[in-house]
């Protein structure tokens, strides 16, 4: 196989906000598959806030090593197989990395559902990690109940936008926080009951106005000052689900922690719980089936934000961290056929 | 009834650390009981870190009003009764306040158990609010399990010292944090597996040494930098019970919040939950029965720290906030007979 494998290698850890020069685009050969391995043509590459965490240092997983190919969740097609049960042509997902071709042991990739009818990019978003994060975070960790007031930050992002739609379907009152008028408008179009533009409004005040009886469940994608404002807005017995902290990812300085801890937790009997979607891995197929059904029934609308070409992965990630995207951002690497 | 009722009235809110002059000792008449009320001779007055919170401003309860008699949990004896079912001579507990005689509606006091055999002061501590806080916090909120590593701060205090003893009885490995060598020695005598003197040791390092596999359950009585150190020492899936935050009570400045929130919650799938003991009010008699049984069986040892005389209540509270006491601090106001 020829020397036509473009790859982004991580050359150093970013100091402060991400710059494209921490990565280098190289052209190398495709790794020969060993017995039990497959070569996968990457079709669509997910861009996720967590990507930024992986290159900073240790987190919930080991960091990407210096000079290694950048990790990234992706969907692709098997173009060569030395593994039983995964013939050429199979569509798969997995951590295929920022490259044209990934050579992987068969057990490190997962076949798409047999009846996949949706664009492959959906399996990175609403039917992939971010949709599952919304599903298990809201229902499994947060245990949303009908009529509760549910607050979601990063609400126009890949995870948040699915979370607000599931919460609406669950008969909750839903308030979404986002950073532009266009995002807030889209959330309103999705049926969200009230929106807060955190770049334009005082979030503490806006929460008093939009949630006068307090927040029962806060689904936090951002951390920082918005988490703090939410803690002050929680109702007695409220729950906080810690899903992400994008406000602090693109920096190496530890962020200021929210004030009121533990005082507010005692006075208001709050519960806060963190999770990572892989905690629910054994139930992924249930989650995907539910989400696919809700897309089919029109309860969940899909919005994607496509970045063109592997060469634009670093700038695409920078834009994601700056809040450019509405819905799920991914990189289109190659067409399916 | 004569003008022999000494009372501490709150004259202003403290600015910064508590000083005795925020209170004034006055001598007034005993309030005449209305129908349905009783007059209670205060025998023993509880001193609790929460007292300091009540005089600062709104918290989980309304603040003590300026010029009102200072609130305080106490045990006393009914000396005059205009209520059915509570004859003179009955021993009761309730928020009787910092005074010699409290006139209260009968439904605002609670009779001691009929078979009370313990000194009345026990019903302020191990068989009262602090013992119940330890019991419900550790078992009801924290759900301690055998073999878990349980970390308790304020471990030689009224609540902490009961929590560590219950945890030991529950077959947990128990590490206690306290502020003097004498306190640590007492904890060791109680069977605690390891102690940390936070005034002498680097708590982060000491936790690495004493809890090399991490903390499963942290019972937090102090907040602040010790809570932060504990968060960094938590094990995957660990639980934090927020019971109190004495480190920040004696000041009006909002304390620095622990760093690592929400990052550590996500990476380590932590759960944090706050509570107030009254959340479990309907189960108090079960808790008192269990604690009384464990005292009887020798599993729970009782240590009290007696301050002599109502006139010393303010300085007794100041000393409590400074960590002077070992075990339950209370004010002896009058003898039972």
The per-residue pLDDT for B336 is: 87
The per-residue pLDDT for A2 is: 53
Tokens in use for B285?
Answer: 């008699």
Confidence of residue A3 (pLDDT cuts 50, 70, 90): low
The per-residue pLDDT for A226 is: 97
Domain shared by A138 and A170, yes or no: yes
Nearest by CB: B266 against A60, A258, A268: A60
Domain shared by A229 and A206, yes or no: yes
Domain shared by B138 and B78, yes or no: no
Query: Which regions in chain B score pLDDT beneath 50?
Result: none
Domain shared by A112 and A17, yes or no: yes
Domain shared by A17 and A156, yes or no: no
Domain shared by A136 and A203, yes or no: yes
Q: Which of chain A's residues have a Cβ under 8 Å away from the Cβ of B140? A: none
Decide if B253 is inside a domain: yes
Domain shared by A75 and A112, yes or no: yes
Domain shared by A100 and A141, yes or no: no
What are the residues whose beta carbons fall under 8 Å from the beta carbon of A215, sequence distance 6 or more? Answer: A149, A150, A151, A175, A207, A230, A233, A234, A235, A238
Domain shared by B20 and B64, yes or no: yes
Core vs surface per residue A69-78: b (16+ CB within 10 A) or e = bbbbbbbbbb
The complex's ipTM works out to 0.92
Decide if A29 is inside a domain: yes
Confidence of residue A214 (pLDDT cuts 50, 70, 90): very high
Domain shared by B143 and B219, yes or no: yes
Q: Which of chain B's residues have a Cβ under 8 Å away from the Cβ of A266? A: 60, 242-245, 274-276
Q: Which of chain B's residues have a Cβ under 8 Å away from the Cβ of A276? A: 266-267, 269
- Chain A and chain B share a number of CB contacts under 8 A equal to 108
Share of chain A above pLDDT 90, in %: 91
pLDDT tens figures, A79-129: 999 999 999 999 999 999 999 999 999 999 999 986 778 999 999 999 999
> In CATH, what number is assigned to the domain containing residue B64?
3.90.180.10
> In CATH, what number is assigned to the domain containing residue B179?
3.40.50.720
Decide if B245 is inside a domain: yes
Domain shared by A86 and A138, yes or no: no
Single out the residue of A128, A97, A47, A75 nearest to residue A329, CA to CA: A47
Decide if A290 is inside a domain: no
The per-residue pLDDT for A61 is: 86
Domain shared by B134 and B236, yes or no: yes
Find which of A261, A267, A279 to mutate to test the B interface (most B CBs within 10 Å of its CB): A261
Please answer whether residues B221 and B159 qualify as being in contact, where contact means their C-beta atoms are separated by less than 8 angstroms: yes
Decide if B154 is inside a domain: yes
d(CA B332, CA B121): 8
Decide if A293 is inside a domain: no
For B138, which DSSP code? Answer: I
A60:B248 CB<8 A: no
Split into its structural domains, chain B has a count of 2
Domain end point (choices A262, A278, A294): A278
B262:A60 CB<8 A: no
d(CA B305, CA B316): 10
Q: Which domain holds residue A157?
A: 129-278
Decide if A9 is inside a domain: yes
pLDDT tens figures, B36-87: 999 999 999 999 999 999 999 888 789 999 999 999 999 999 999 999 999 9
């Amino acid at each position: 196989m020829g020397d036509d494998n473009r790859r982004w290698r991580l050359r150093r850890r970013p100091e402060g906000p991400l710059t494209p020069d921490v990565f280098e685009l190289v052209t190398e050969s495709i790794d020969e598959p060993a017995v039990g391995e497959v070569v996968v043509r990457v079709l669509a590459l997910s861009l996720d806030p967590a990507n930024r965490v992986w290159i900073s240092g240790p987190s919930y997983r080991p960091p990407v090593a210096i000079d290694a190919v950048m990790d990234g969740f992706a969907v692709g097609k098997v173009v060569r197989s030395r593994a039983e049960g995964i013939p050429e042509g199979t569509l798969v997902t997995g951590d295929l990395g920022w490259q044209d071709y990934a050579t992987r042991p068969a057990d490190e990739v997962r076949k798409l559902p047999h009846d996949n009818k949706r664009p492959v990019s959906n399996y990175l978003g609403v039917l992939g990690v971010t949709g599952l994060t919304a599903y298990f975070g809201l229902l499994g960790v947060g245990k949303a109940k009908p009529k509760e007031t549910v607050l979601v930050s990063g609400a126009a992002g890949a995870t948040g936008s699915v979370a607000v739609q599931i919460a609406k379907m669950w008969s909750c009152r839903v308030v979404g926080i986002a950073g532009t008028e266009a995002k807030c408008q889209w959330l309103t179009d999705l049926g969200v009951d009230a929106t807060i533009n955190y770049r334009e409004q005082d979030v503490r005040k806006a929460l008093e106005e939009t949630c006068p009886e307090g927040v029962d469940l806060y689904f936090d994608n951002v951390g920082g000052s918005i988490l703090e404002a939410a803690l002050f807005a929680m109702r007695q017995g409220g729950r906080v689900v810690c899903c992400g902290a994008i406000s602090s990812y693109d920096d190496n300085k530890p962020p200021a922690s929210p004030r009121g801890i533990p005082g507010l937790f005692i006075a208001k009997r709050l519960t806060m719980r963190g999770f990572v979607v892989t905690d629910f891995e054994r139930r992924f197929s249930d989650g995907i089936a539910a989400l696919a059904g809700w897309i089919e029934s029109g309860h969940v609308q899909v919005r994607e934000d496509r970045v063109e070409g592997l060469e634009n992965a670093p700038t695409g990630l920078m834009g994601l961290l700056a809040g450019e995207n509405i819905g799920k951002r991914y990189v289109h690497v190659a067409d399916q056929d």
